[in-house]
Structure 1
Amino acid sequence: MTDLQNQSVALDGLAPPRGSPILTGRLVALLACLSAISVLSTNIILPAFPEIGHELGVTSRELGLTLSSFFITFAFAQLLVGPLADHYGRKRFVLGGLALFVIGTMVAGFAGTLDVLIAGRVIQALGVCAAAVLARAIARDLFDGETLGRALSLTMIATAAAPGFSPLLGSLLTTAMGWRAIFVMVGAAAVLIAWFYARSLGETLPPGRRTALSAASVVSAYGRLLREGRFILPAASVSLLMSGLFASFAAAPAILMSGMGLSSLQAGLYFAATVFVVFAAGLAAPRLAHRFGSRTITILGLATALLAGALLLIGPKSPGLGWYSLSMVIFLWGMGLANPLGTAITMSPFGKEAGLASALLGFLTMGAAAITTWLGSVLEYPPVLTLGAIQATVCAVALVTFFSSRRG
């Protein structure tokens, strides 16, 4: 029997208790929920900024600290969660992280000052980073090869849908019940996910596959991954690609609302509509990979995303909604193909260190996103040209880097 068969994992319909696990709808739903809750909690509060600022007596710019504090905490905390979960197992960190997230959500929801709100967001990030990191690690525990790519493709659909739908959801909740209702909703979602995970899956890393743990061994392991071409080259490609997506979300208010005159509700509906492109790409990616190979389709996706950035560069400085939407659809299609397959290629050789590899990949993605969103806010050029330059640059570098990984 294999290590996976020897472990006492109650799959309860997600996969059979004997034999190799199969990819089921319930398992995909669980992985998607674990991955999406972190993205959902990131920007769902954006539509509530005016109301929060009015009630707490702060400006929208000051409220930006609730985002930056979340991102910074999330980026560094996952570097600890990954190796700890490789040593102690997944279950305690998934459930403990979600519990901590609920505590942070309560602190933020009852906040009466900006400092308390920021503290709540920091606690949220400390907890929810475990769910995001370990969703990929759990997928790697259970699957490899094409099945891993398919699992990550389907999981990515939900992860990409969360930032698309969350502004609209946040706007509706704020309008109907006030901004504190946002935190009630995400807290309730975390409780439901924790219940679903504990009842349906549980531990996926058997003791025989766990790694030793010490500060020196963790630093050494991260160092090895950073020097390992099979990891760092595809990981850098995926991170650069995703930084282009974050840049597009950061630039969208200036482009859609200030530039084109859309209302906040219209902008939220626009984001929600674009999610269906990601749905289609996520479903197509594993089928295309099966026929043409994962690396070939990843390269195609990166090249497609590069084309989207180029369209913004060669188009008008103040494009109409049609031209901008064309670029967005092309970018999201390319991202939807390349991201899950590139992630699977990155993670596949490192099954024994899946948590650590997932954590480092997440850190690189957050770091790249922080740089591109910062550049988008400080470069004094028309927002469309700035976004086009950022997307074209990061996708070009990602494409060259991924080609290098083929030779590595």
Structure 2
Amino acid sequence: MKTQSYSGGIEAGDQISQNPRLTGKIIVLLAGLSAISTLSTNIILPAFPDIAEQLGVSARELGLTLSSFFITFALAQLVVGPLADRYGRKKLILVGLSIFIVGTVVGGLAGSLETLIIGRVIQALGVCAAAVLARAIARDLFDGETLARALSLTMIATAAAPGFSPLVGSVLTTSLGWRAIFILVGLAAFAVGIFYTATLGETHPTERRAPVSIPGVIFAYFRLAVNGKFILPALSVSLLMSGLFASFGAAPAILIKGIGLSSLQVGFYFAATVFVVFGAGMAAPPLARRYGAQIITSAGILTALLGGGMLLIGSESPGLGWYSLSMVMYLWGMGLANPLGTAITMGPFGKQAGLASALLGFLTMGAAAITTWLGSVLTFSAVTTLGGIQTTACMIALLLFLLRGKSMASLSQK
């Protein structure tokens, strides 16, 4: 059997030749795999006050359940990626979803903050496989403009998870108690596993699989990390997404404590944001065809930067209108830049899609862990902290992405 070693072959010519039709079932499946992680994160946010009261901790301490999830998620991806490139996607996804369900049971039965954190860590260990391999599966099946379209449509569908899940979490907490949230999330993971098995299955054929060795994997990650075609757009996308995750962590303090919304109103608020991401995701592919993915991605990051900047120049206790305008700008920019930037990052690395997706996921979740941790420890107001985090992250992201464009232009002139 011919295999491709990790030590080479990660250049721009590594494209997957097969281009199956992008169907609704594939989009729903990719969205389901991607959404489980954000679903399990956001659905619990409106329940923080109730959980804090029952477990005898502060709502701010519950931020540790987010940062511990992100750190575990980030590190575990580095193992999942190369294993999936060696043994295929299907085994890793099904085992990962099973582990996630175990963590869901632990979290749902938790009687202390420590046990809840352990449950969240187990959840992260399992669900990282689904999230990482959703991108790898998309790269297995598609390339070029079709890959960008698949990622855009997936992101639109996935936006329903962070958008509508707080509303669902609010309803469950109010009617059945916060532990019912874990039951729903576990059932969702089980349903995704069944749908994946019945709809798609393995997408990484045996002849494309690479042997796994620790030195080879380390060297492969190193090659990606020093390859400007990967690392510059990957860091840009990761920093942009970290600002979004920071807004999730800050939402209870800003919307409930600061502005005075109820947990149910916060749920409706997040649900309304879905339409912003939906519009941006629909606009991204045609705009990229007309003006180029580099220009539209840069414009998206700049728009998100302006959204974060609004929080810095505004009041420390903004009204709902000002805060919402800031969030709309950030979400619109993120909705344009994220799918296009991800396609730019993943496009040249078809044979190592699992590895590349794992490193991209590691960078994203690592950045998210840092920003959510900063949000919980900095002593500035929640609004100022969030604005500072988003502005700084987007400024660095824009500089890196522009540097990527400049370097690619230089290469094309040679």
CA contact (8 A) 2:77 2:361 kept: yes
Q: Distance in 1 between matches of 2:387 and 2:119?
A: 35
Instruction: Determine the structure 1 residue equivalent to 2:46.
Output: 47
Instruction: Determine the structure 2 residue equivalent to 1:6.
Output: none
Q: CA deviation at 1:57?
A: 4.4
Instruction: Determine the structure 2 residue equivalent to 1:222.
Output: 221
- Provide, for residues 305-363 of structure 1, a one-character-per-residue CA deviation record: whole Å limited to 9, x for no partner: 11212222333333222122111111111100000000000000111111111111111
Instruction: Determine the structure 1 residue equivalent to 2:64.
Output: 65
1:25 has 2:15 as partner: no
1:205-284, aligned counterparts within 5 Å?
205-284=204-283
Give the secondary structure class of the aligned counterpart of 1:204. coil
| CA distance 1:20–1:159, shift in 2 (3 Å) | closer
1:1-400, aligned counterparts within 5 Å?
20-400=19-399
2:394 alignment partner AA: C
Q: Distance in 2 between matches of 1:174 and 1:262?
A: 16
Q: Distance in 2 between matches of 1:263 and 1:57?
A: 21
| CA distance 1:318–1:103, shift in 2 (3 Å) | closer
Q: CA deviation at 1:283?
A: 1.1
1:230 alignment partner AA: K
Identity of aligned residues (%): 71
78-87 or 150-159: which moved more? 150-159
Q: CA deviation at 1:222?
A: 0.6
| CA distance 1:290–1:250, shift in 2 (3 Å) | same
- Provide, for residues 344-393 of structure 1, a one-character-per-residue CA deviation record: whole Å limited to 9, x for no partner: 00000111111111111111111112222223333333333332222222
321-330 or 343-352: which moved more? 321-330
| CA distance 1:377–1:115, shift in 2 (3 Å) | closer
Q: Distance in 1 between matches of 2:330 and 2:117?
A: 33
CA contact (8 A) 2:308 2:330 kept: yes
Instruction: Determine the structure 1 residue equivalent to 2:412.
Output: none
CA contact (8 A) 1:311 1:388 kept: yes
Q: CA deviation at 1:61?
A: 4.5
1:395 alignment partner AA: C
Instruction: Determine the structure 1 residue equivalent to 2:12.
Output: none
Q: CA deviation at 1:62?
A: 4.5
CA contact (8 A) 1:90 1:205 kept: yes
| CA distance 1:254–1:61, shift in 2 (3 Å) | closer
| CA distance 1:348–1:312, shift in 2 (3 Å) | same
355-364 or 365-374: which moved more? 365-374
Q: CA deviation at 1:274?
A: 1.2
Give the secondary structure class of the aligned counterpart of 1:111. coil
CA contact (8 A) 1:161 1:278 kept: no
CA contact (8 A) 1:86 1:354 kept: yes
Q: Distance in 2 between matches of 1:139 and 1:314?
A: 40
CA contact (8 A) 2:65 2:117 kept: yes
1:51 alignment partner AA: D
300-309 or 315-324: which moved more? 315-324
CA contact (8 A) 1:103 1:123 kept: yes
1:45 alignment partner AA: I
- Provide, for residues 178-222 of structure 1, a one-character-per-residue CA deviation record: whole Å limited to 9, x for no partner: 222111111111111111100010000011111121000110011
2:317 alignment partner AA: S
Greater relative CO, 1 or 2 (CA 8 Å, sep 6+): 2
2:269 alignment partner AA: Y
Q: Distance in 1 between matches of 2:256 and 2:376?
A: 16
- Provide, for residues 36-60 of structure 1, a one-character-per-residue CA deviation record: whole Å limited to 9, x for no partner: 0111012322222333344444444
The alignment of Structure 1 onto Structure 2 pairs a total of residues equal to: 392
- Structure 2, unmatched stretches of 5+, are 3-16, 408-414
Q: Distance in 2 between matches of 1:126 and 1:268?
A: 27
Q: Distance in 2 between matches of 1:308 and 1:58?
A: 33
CA-based RMSD of the aligned residues comes to: 1.9
Instruction: Determine the structure 2 residue equivalent to 1:7.
Output: none
CA contact (8 A) 2:298 2:398 kept: yes
Q: Distance in 2 between matches of 1:49 and 1:314?
A: 29
Instruction: Determine the structure 2 residue equivalent to 1:12.
Output: none
Q: CA deviation at 1:271?
A: 1.3
- Structure 1, unmatched stretches of 5+, are 4-17
Give the secondary structure class of the aligned counterpart of 1:349. coil
- The normalised TM-score by structure 1 is 0.91
| CA distance 1:89–1:240, shift in 2 (3 Å) | same
Give the secondary structure class of the aligned counterpart of 2:20. coil
Q: Distance in 2 between matches of 1:31 and 1:244?
A: 23
CA contact (8 A) 2:66 2:372 kept: no
375-384 or 74-83: which moved more? 375-384
89-98 or 50-59: which moved more? 50-59
Q: Distance in 2 between matches of 1:37 and 1:180?
A: 17
